[in-house]
Structure 1
Amino acid sequence: MTSFTPPVDDMRFLLTQVLDFDAHIATLPGCEDVTAEFAGEVLTEAGRFAADKLAPLNLSGDEQGASLADGKVTTPEGFPQAYKDFVEAGWVGLSGNPDFGGQGLPRTLQILLDEMVCAANVSFGLFPGLTSGAAEALEHHGSEELKARWLPGLITGESCGAMALTESNAGTDLGLLRARAEPVGDGSFKVSGTKIFISSGDQDFGNNIVHLVLARLPDAPAGVKGISMFLVPKFLPGEDGGLGARNTMSVGALEHKMGIHAQPTCVMNYDEAIGWLVGEPGRGLNAMFTMMNNERLFVGIQGLGIAEAAHQKAATYARERLQGRSADNTRAPVPIIEHADVRKMLLQGRAFIDAARALAVWTAMQMDIAARHPDPAAQAEANGMVLLMTPVIKAAFTDMGFETAVLSQQVFGGHGYIHEWGMEQFVRDARITQIYEGTNGVQAMDLVARKLPMEGGALLDRFLALVEADIAKGAASPLAAQLADALVPLRRIATDLLARKNDVEALGAAATDTLRMLALVALGWMWLRMVLATQGEESPLAIRKHAVARFFFARMLPQVHALAAQVEAGPQTIMAMDAELF
């Protein structure tokens, strides 16, 4: 089978022809020299690293898995060296703050790097991904002393990061957590408790690991208002500034998981481990959400990356695998890509992937504008778009990414169920993306209960106004009319949910369907922009984009109307049956 091919050409197409990177990002303070051409060169090198260094470790890493013996975690063969190479090449600090050793490049490039890394090897991608999230939380909420001491290592990748939230009794409801932190008297704290499901909790890379741990101070009130965040390193600082004594934290076990076998997902025990308060007492959840929102976007990109890698293998296999007769019954056997059902599966995956990448890039550009634009109004407007899209990208990209992995496995038939082909690994690895960093049901509730009511409903209106502006530009296209039709039920549902914002059952019953409606409209918007950007072109890329767009508008966008009917059925049929009858 072919190895992973980085989709750099498609990324360049988005930056230059569809989303106008030079006009929107290269003009921002600190980005003056970062043109789309330069971005393409960076992404070419990133793709080469992912394909050459990370993809070859994916299947072997899954087979070998991470292991724990005598309290020491061992990652699969090749992972420590690959991480060292990744750090030395500067990829961990690509978008990091230059004041602490980062390169300061736009978040847009970071998102595309993340996609290729996760497509090549999602278990590996969690190490730098969580490290970047920890750095962001510390940069926004840590004291100047903590930032000076710990940020350089995190931003360059010299140290790794991990987030320690979940406990056996406290998952989505973090107000139930029991971990404690006792003040020592010198500004430090002794943190005690057990956390589960801690990705990258430990490894054998030979560096420090900075855990951001949620715990309660002795006088903390019950619930989420009593939660504080603490920086707890694997190794305490040495007198020479290097690694000092091992902190009193240990790995109690590695979780036995369905997928991401190469990633050490740890049960972590903190036994009066020394840590330092990050941010204000009782505001730990606020600080942690800085990291979690970063990670939620990152998890959505994981879903996209896995979908791309799985689809590539399926498309290659479909062109090469001979089976069955031609439609006119004159040839046999024929490549299975000639069969309509196989084509439909491949097109569904491609229709999601290309539009999802475009939406991810657009959202990342909004993040760059929110962080760098000199006009506070422009910053606020862009930040609102990021807030709206975060649950959509996390949930829809991982749902559709998993669906694409399953369809790609299906293309292989029986071979897709055999480990050596690698397709069943994509399915297993993709499944966790729908669960961690807040299940997709939680993301959907965030959308309908928090994001849609923002600004009295004006946040969604502002987003849809952008869509309508491109519909007007493409008025001559029948695709524009179809997208305009899809906006009608979405607006109707959003208006109704806003009026029922205190009806928990109604919101819960509508949440996942509403999120998928918004996702389909957003993906349709990206397809319309890609079609308009290639109008009149006869290149293979333009021909492919137009063909896949027609498929999306004919077979995927119409789901919006069926989803609206489901939402308008209300919660009655969901809530009617007694719990004992399930």
Structure 2
Amino acid sequence: MPQYTPPVRDMQFVLHELLDVGAAFSQLPPHADLDADTVNSIIEEAGKFASQVIFPLNQSGDEEGCTYVGDGVVKAPKGYREAYQQYCEQGWPALSCDPEFGGQGLPELVNNVLQEMLNSANQAWTMYPGLTHGAYSSLHAYGTPEQKKVYLSKLVSGEWTGTMCLTEPHCGTDLGILRSKAEPRGDGSYSISGTKIFISSGEHDVSENIIHLVLARLPDAPAGTKGISLFIVPKFLPDAAGKPGARNAVKCGSIEHKMGIHSNATCVMNFDGAQGFMVGEPNRGMQAMFVMMNGARLGVGMQSLGLAEVAYQNSLAYAKDRLQSRSLTGAKLKDKPADPIIVHPDVRRMLLSQKAHVEAARALCYWVGLMIDQEHKHPDEAVRKDAGDLVALLTPIVKAFITDNSFESTNLGMQVFGGHGYVREWGMEQYVRDARINLIYEGTNTIQSLDLIGRKVLQDGGAKLKKFGKLVQDFVVAQAGREDMKEFVEPLMDIGDKVVKLTGEIGMKAAQNPDEMGAAAVPYLRVVGHLVYSYLWARMARLALDKQGEGDFYKAKLATARYYFARMLPETASLIRVARAGSGSLMAMDAALF
């Protein structure tokens, strides 16, 4: 049976030593009094809920799956509704929400820590409340005062859950060709008609109401994404008292039978003249929806971090316990018939690859969470601008680089188990199946790569990338005279220089032929991802060097940093070569010849 223990010590290392959140929060007026003890106590309680309440439901929920009862009714697996009620009773949905609407007003970073643990414990369950936070954020930013009054407190409390309805049978990422219609009803509301597919948590019995955020077109809307509006479409229309009232004309037509996340209902949703209420301005729905979409992309990164962590914990425990063969350098456990497989170099490669990725991914996700808090709450406009630019730059890295690496990590975890990893009993094959979707939804990783190189780097002349480069440069300068940091600083400088050069080359080629950008985008994102990981690992190595005499935790951190620079960063050499190969070999052959 699988196991999960919240990695509290490493979480605290990232929060208090790497990010120094106490000092950072002191600069944010809403959080100036939040101290380390309070943050730690929240983490410990969240870890108890994740490990004791929803983790035991993960394997059984996967095996049972969701049930389409008929006539639009869907039931979640046994125990899911009760666990969700506990989640709400303990106040977890409200953690980082606005106190005006019943929230606790804690930093987004603290919510990120909660999300990591929930996703390690049970990704499919976590998706029921997961999108609710995104719906809350979108309505908080663009909803009318009346809409906020009706919906926000219910989303904050968790009484109502949320979805986002974008994809249609004929269009996925290309929302410019969506067909769902919104006809004015004459009373300020709209009649929404159309079909949406792949809607996570679109129908279930976990909460008492579901609030769909739906993209649709007005009758006179211009073509493309500039003609899309956003609408609130409740499953049950709120009555005068703010409680679920009349059933709206939106219904689940079926649920998808999927490779993974079996216990989350992925629905086909049919809107048959359902009553909807516009969010924001006509034909500017994408602006409001992007709040939710960007939050979801960061959330997918947290999903993959969570899965990679729990997969690593289980493969590590197995490698220490499983006896097979003898060490190449001689028997280590002479009183046993064989040595534990952790003595073998390639098993260690798999474990260290998992560990190095997980710890860098955690640092990245938490850092981005802190910058979101700074973007929204710092009193200095320049700080808010810089934080917002870095969040924009790093969002596709969080979504694509972390999900790619986490899928590889869960595969490595399964490989450590050998044949036992391939069977259900040990739980490893579920982590692989669940992790696979994260590379696809909320914009495939190719879309994230195009977003990075096209919109986040080339579109502004590299301004956002230069801001990140300044952080790297400042760190490198601060290490001057530290001989013990050379093994980390020199490769960091090297990959930084290579990213600058590669960016310029791709930009020049793309100006002549846009296919060049498309051909280079995926390897380019991985190269930039490694630059980000290198920066974070160099910073963590500096902390570990300064404290390596204080215990095994820092010795392990330093050894993992050395492994990353020695055996993972070198991937960039081949990636850069591929990115420079151009579009010729991809586009030369006529499509008919495939």
TM-score by structure 2 length?
0.96
**Which runs of structure 2 are paired with 1:270-281 in the superposition (5 Å)?**
270-281=271-282
The question of 1:446 aligning with 2:455 is answered no
Question: In 2, distance between residues paired with 1:152 and 1:453?
Answer: 41
Deviations 1:47-69 (A, max 9, x none): 11100001100000000001111
Q: Tell me by how many angstroms 1:472 deviates.
A: 2.4
Question: In 2, distance between residues paired with 1:26 and 1:253?
Answer: 49
Question: In 1, distance between residues paired with 2:206 and 2:407?
Answer: 30
Deviations 1:300-358 (A, max 9, x none): 11111100011100000000000011222435411001111111000001000001101
Question: In 2, distance between residues paired with 1:49 and 1:566?
Answer: 45
The question of 1:495 aligning with 2:507 is answered no
Q: Tell me by how many angstroms 1:454 deviates.
A: 4.5
Q: Tell me by how many angstroms 1:205 deviates.
A: 2.1
- Secondary structure of the residue aligned to 1:452 is helix
**Which runs of structure 2 are paired with 1:480-519 in the superposition (5 Å)?**
480-502=489-511, 503-519=513-529
Q: Which one of the candidate residues 401, 413, 416 is aligned to 2:418?
A: 413
What amino acid does structure 2 have at the position aligned with 1:451? K
Q: Tell me by how many angstroms 1:561 deviates.
A: 2.2
**Which runs of structure 2 are paired with 1:334-349 in the superposition (5 Å)?**
334-349=339-354
- Secondary structure of the residue aligned to 2:85 is helix
**Identity over the aligned pairs, expressed in percent?**
48
Question: In 2, distance between residues paired with 1:14 and 1:461?
Answer: 24
Flag as ranges the 4+ runs of structure 1 deviating above 6 A: none
Deviations 1:508-545 (A, max 9, x none): 11101111011111111111111111224221110000
- Secondary structure of the residue aligned to 2:29 is coil
Alpha-carbon contact 1:489-1:561 (below 8 Å) kept:
no
Query: What residue number does 2:43 align with?
Result: 43
Unaligned 5+ residue runs, structure 2? none
Query: What residue number does 1:118 align with?
Result: 119
Q: Tell me by how many angstroms 1:214 deviates.
A: 0.5
The question of 1:166 aligning with 2:167 is answered yes
Alpha-carbon contact 1:449-1:501 (below 8 Å) kept:
no
- Secondary structure of the residue aligned to 1:92 is helix
Question: In 2, distance between residues paired with 1:571 and 1:488?
Answer: 24
What amino acid does structure 1 have at the position aligned with 2:579? V
Alpha-carbon contact 2:204-2:265 (below 8 Å) kept:
yes
- Secondary structure of the residue aligned to 1:455 is coil
Query: What residue number does 2:55 align with?
Result: 55
- Secondary structure of the residue aligned to 1:160 is strand
The 3 A distance-change label for structure 1 pair 500 and 35 is farther
The question of 1:244 aligning with 2:217 is answered no
What amino acid does structure 1 have at the position aligned with 2:449? A
Query: What residue number does 1:581 align with?
Result: 593
What amino acid does structure 1 have at the position aligned with 2:584? Q
The question of 1:299 aligning with 2:311 is answered no
Query: What residue number does 2:20 align with?
Result: 20
Is 471-480 or 430-439 further displaced after alignment?
471-480
Q: Tell me by how many angstroms 1:206 deviates.
A: 4.3
Alpha-carbon contact 2:159-2:207 (below 8 Å) kept:
no
Q: Which one of the candidate residues 441, 458, 462 is aligned to 1:457?
A: 462
Is 18-27 or 354-363 further displaced after alignment?
18-27
Alpha-carbon contact 1:486-1:558 (below 8 Å) kept:
no
The 3 A distance-change label for structure 1 pair 368 and 341 is same
Question: In 2, distance between residues paired with 1:97 and 1:206?
Answer: 21
Question: In 2, distance between residues paired with 1:561 and 1:470?
Answer: 23
Alpha-carbon contact 2:250-2:272 (below 8 Å) kept:
yes
**Which runs of structure 2 are paired with 1:143-182 in the superposition (5 Å)?**
143-182=144-183
What amino acid does structure 2 have at the position aligned with 1:341? D
Unaligned 5+ residue runs, structure 1? none
**Which runs of structure 2 are paired with 1:164-313 in the superposition (5 Å)?**
164-313=165-314
What amino acid does structure 2 have at the position aligned with 1:496? E
Question: In 1, distance between residues paired with 2:214 and 2:146?
Answer: 18
Query: What residue number does 1:521 align with?
Result: 531
The question of 1:568 aligning with 2:577 is answered no
Question: In 2, distance between residues paired with 1:133 and 1:229?
Answer: 14
Alpha-carbon contact 1:486-1:561 (below 8 Å) kept:
no
Query: What residue number does 1:437 align with?
Result: 442
Question: In 2, distance between residues paired with 1:470 and 1:561?
Answer: 23
The 3 A distance-change label for structure 1 pair 206 and 290 is closer
Query: What residue number does 2:566 align with?
Result: 554
TM-score by structure 1 length?
0.98
Alpha-carbon contact 2:161-2:207 (below 8 Å) kept:
no
Q: Tell me by how many angstroms 1:223 deviates.
A: 1.4
Question: In 2, distance between residues paired with 1:316 and 1:187?
Answer: 59
Query: What residue number does 1:67 align with?
Result: 67
Question: In 1, distance between residues paired with 2:293 and 2:135?
Answer: 9
